[in-house]
Structure 1
């Protein structure tokens, strides 16, 4: 199969990080890729051999094995591989072969090296892969309970083979678990029905017990993906029941493995970028909980998980802006759509509403304002359809207050800084987390810089912002316990967002004001504050460690809820943690309380 350059170019535009490259750079790179047609079973490269370049799977499947020959991953289209060898010492650190007839794009090593030195986004993406922060996409490291089918279809021993076949047909499945007194007795597959019933001509009334595989191989929910891969390859089977304490709790099939591998932020981003309606996008964003489970279960750090999830929201917003312009016509003046809140900080989890605003060019007239009101409604309605629900506080571009020209935004910030009353403190806290999403970014550059400078010079404003940041306190109780919510729907839980993550977000914002730091992401703010001397080295390390623990506890809690079939939330009962986990979580809250005390007393640093 040959691929013309224009087709390669279209493909690259749908794959990150190539989609972030400038148009002329991408045009040049598209011509550098070599097209390779690899037959099923054919090796691509082997462990220890020199690497020819970076591979990108256009079509097919590629199996990755480690240096010992153990399966590591099964890759689908739009997955890159081989970069770890290129980055380390130009020798392959894995072995790969085509698991199906495949079409690969290979970027020669010299061109890869050039992009790594000249394109920061490209280098950052593959540096993160080198550091294994994206290892959650590897099936081998994820527990079976995160990707197994949790409601396996069953039938009793006396079921006829015809009834079994009809059940599999109706349920669109390829296997049935056979149970006896609620215990797994066997398994029958479509292959069994073909080879053991149809081929020998057994009657349709034959009990399934006669053709099933008795006492099949099983695994526990705590097994990991490599256990499944090894078992399937060793025993040449495609279905493995999952049993816990003698009870059937799930089943894993080859389809489950493929589906699990197929859920990636890049795939979701690509699908959203091609969607023509908000309803189409909603079908894609509905996969976010499953993506979160995959990423967290694979051991990805919280800042990677939230960044990847936020990228999906950013893409949905930009796509909706394009669709709005296609519907309403070109904008009469330049505009910029910005996100604030968790999307602005690139910290979205499985629970997110929308916080956004519009900055318009000062040339806008009153007669042109209705266009932007319609654009804001189109995009906000679309985001709501996608599951990013309307902001309860109406902090959205649909509110005329937050859809204004640059000069009005300057007046807003000047007023909040000059007169920091409670509303001004609240609004400034939100607006200092603004991040451009789509439109003319130059509308924000000067405004952002000038506001940081003015805020830093006004010690009274900073003092009020410090006071406002101390309103959210860690849930520390007496006698080394937690102060849980005492009543209502979330009784006996702690709010890992409002009393866990938010206090650190507030501290990070204060450090950014004090140091005139342009970073918006909380963890990046803490790192920058430490580097700028706003935060001491020891205080920075302690606070970042505390933040990491709380943020990852929050994500793990959301994973548990999603796996249980519940909607993710931020309210965790401390009783679900072990004594060891509770002790460390409480220590993290103590660090935050100590840092709040330091900031509140005007020291700002923890030595």
Structure 2
């Protein structure tokens, strides 16, 4: 027993357990021997145990293809236990192996929250078995699998036989309401439980319409679409919109990069806030391994935003809120999450708009909004420390009150908080009831905006100055906790984000990411092509640097930060960052001088 305690105590996720919990863990260990080639975990097995390799090695197999190799100390099964999903992969012994079989430790540990599972993993040598930075850009047309077609009136038994014969996991169903899809999950949930008989029509199982994606879309885009919608299959369509094939989650990436979709499934299946919080705890390490896998920073941020969106929607479904339920309302995201470019350190900024004009409902709505936000915080997400939260009267109003406030800010941008609130509203995205939530940005499309208002917004935007200076080419903090450091968020991202936000307001279109707004500015003549390229490239570089620094902090158990000491950067990175800051400052100065002539004629 001491041997097992010493061994497990040195391995994540068990290395953070105290002595008492480690003893409880060892008491539940069963040792199993497997000959080479023997199956350890069959495909689609219900998740019941963790497996830890003691000696030898295990292969993770996806339809005959080895996608990962586990060595001594590696753990398999935690993602499936946490999500409650059956593993679509088979695990077999690569050689003669001894494995430790452990029942779900949440059932008997005093402090299961101390387990620090790695949501994703590398091979023992540090090299990926599959994948790499180039895989995310492959078009889906190269990955699409053949389609098994059937009619809605065909029997479940017949369609299941056809799917099995083709070695696939789904079929497309022709029906009067359009094309539907039936997957292996539908068979397990509905046929195995007796809800639909094997001789019944397959149409009773089908989900209609199918979720589609263009054949020229990339793997990265396909995975993001799956995470956003919580599905495991996409129908790939050709240029004419006709189904050309099907891709599954396991086709899009190696086993480790599929974890965002597993987290999404765990979120959707969470029966209470505690279960939801447990699922959300996988997010930080998932971001770490996405970056380690070479996934593009912009794609990591989009996946991050999609998972947070799903978690917030699940909180809203789990929390009973009578006052909110009694009125039509919309939860709205603000800031970087609204733009789908959060960092691991980002707060969750929210607003609330409701349709009722009864002023007496406001206090009750805000009280319930606070309870929702407390649940959000329990799930590990930080609320806005500056007050941009849906229970704050500044950020929770009726639709009429939001519209009146926006008019007021435009008429007199010098009033207190007018520019700050205008900027925050411009960076908003409805999470629920999009039609109502768009009330916050309706006035951005108004033709009554004055040049005084646009000038004031621009002044606020160019007020965020890149930290260029004479000390190694940077302006750094001269005192306090961050002495000698740069704030890459305030000095690097904010100047670009703020100018892109001004473009969004001037263009009358608040949608999109920072880079998408910059490109839209070029199309409208608000920026030259070179200026947009400079700003977009600067944003990508600084965001990528910040993301990877925060991910590094998470990996070693430190608190992420937006600060960096120039001396910590290599010479090339310092030079590139310095040149980026100077180029952004030049674009700011040019737009500041020429802004009025760049506006559309009707806006001058």
TM-score bracket, shorter-length normalisation: 0.5 to 0.7
Q: Please point out which of 74, 88, 91 is paired with 1:60.
A: 88
Shift of 1:286: 2.3
CA distance in 2, matches of 1:109, 1:569: 50
CA distance in 2, matches of 1:120, 1:321: 26
Deviation by residue 1:550-574 (Cα, 9 ceiling, x = unmatched):
1101111112212222011111111
CA distance in 2, matches of 1:122, 1:292: 26
**TM-score, length of structure 1 as denominator length:** 0.60
Deviation by residue 1:72-91 (Cα, 9 ceiling, x = unmatched):
269xxxxxx99967514979
Q: Which residue number corresponds to residue 409 of structure 1?
A: 402
Q: Please point out which of 312, 315, 320 is paired with 2:310.
A: 315
Q: Which residue number corresponds to residue 100 of structure 2?
A: none
Q: Please point out which of 141, 155, 158 is paired with 1:87.
A: 141
Indicate how the Cα distance of structure 1 residues 41 and 576 shifts in structure 2: closer, same or farther if over 3 A, else same: closer
Shift of 1:495: 0.8
Shift of 1:43: 5.3
Gaps in structure 1 of 5+ consecutive residues: 1-36, 47-56, 64-69, 75-80, 93-102, 138-257
Q: Which residue number corresponds to residue 271 of structure 2?
A: 276
Q: Which residue number corresponds to residue 332 of structure 1?
A: 326
Indicate how the Cα distance of structure 1 residues 329 and 322 shifts in structure 2: closer, same or farther if over 3 A, else same: farther
Q: Helix, strand or coil for the counterpart of 1:477?
A: strand
Q: Which residue number corresponds to residue 287 of structure 2?
A: 292
CA contact (8 A) 1:433 1:520 kept: no
Q: Please point out which of 105, 109, 122 is paired with 2:169.
A: 105
Q: Helix, strand or coil for the counterpart of 1:602?
A: helix
Indicate how the Cα distance of structure 1 residues 62 and 365 shifts in structure 2: closer, same or farther if over 3 A, else same: same
Q: Please point out which of 480, 483, 486 is paired with 1:494.
A: 486
Q: Please point out which of 339, 352, 355 is paired with 1:345.
A: 339
Shift of 1:107: 4.9
Report the RMSD for the aligned CA atoms in angstroms.
4.1
CA distance in 1, matches of 2:488, 2:544: 10
Q: Please point out which of 558, 566, 584 is paired with 1:566.
A: 558
Shift of 1:334: 0.5
Q: Does 1:526 align with 2:526?
A: no
Indicate how the Cα distance of structure 1 residues 428 and 276 shifts in structure 2: closer, same or farther if over 3 A, else same: same
CA contact (8 A) 2:44 2:87 kept: no
Shift of 1:302: 2.0
Indicate how the Cα distance of structure 1 residues 445 and 86 shifts in structure 2: closer, same or farther if over 3 A, else same: closer
**TM-score, length of structure 2 as denominator length:** 0.60
Indicate how the Cα distance of structure 1 residues 489 and 597 shifts in structure 2: closer, same or farther if over 3 A, else same: same
Gaps in structure 2 of 5+ consecutive residues: 1-42, 46-59, 67-84, 92-127, 147-166, 181-207, 228-252, 599-604
Q: Which residue number corresponds to residue 374 of structure 2?
A: 381
Q: Helix, strand or coil for the counterpart of 2:169?
A: strand
CA distance in 2, matches of 1:318, 1:301: 26
Q: Which residue number corresponds to residue 449 of structure 1?
A: 442
CA contact (8 A) 1:276 1:323 kept: yes
> How many pairs align?
411
Q: Which residue number corresponds to residue 202 of structure 1?
A: none
Q: Helix, strand or coil for the counterpart of 1:378?
A: helix
Indicate how the Cα distance of structure 1 residues 605 and 526 shifts in structure 2: closer, same or farther if over 3 A, else same: farther
Shift of 1:328: 3.2
Q: Helix, strand or coil for the counterpart of 2:330?
A: strand
Q: Which residue number corresponds to residue 265 of structure 1?
A: 260
**Greater mean alpha carbon deviation, residues 415-424 or residues 263-272:** 263-272
Shift of 1:406: 0.8
CA distance in 2, matches of 1:133, 1:583: 35
Q: Please point out which of 403, 409, 422 is paired with 1:428.
A: 422
Indicate how the Cα distance of structure 1 residues 277 and 73 shifts in structure 2: closer, same or farther if over 3 A, else same: same
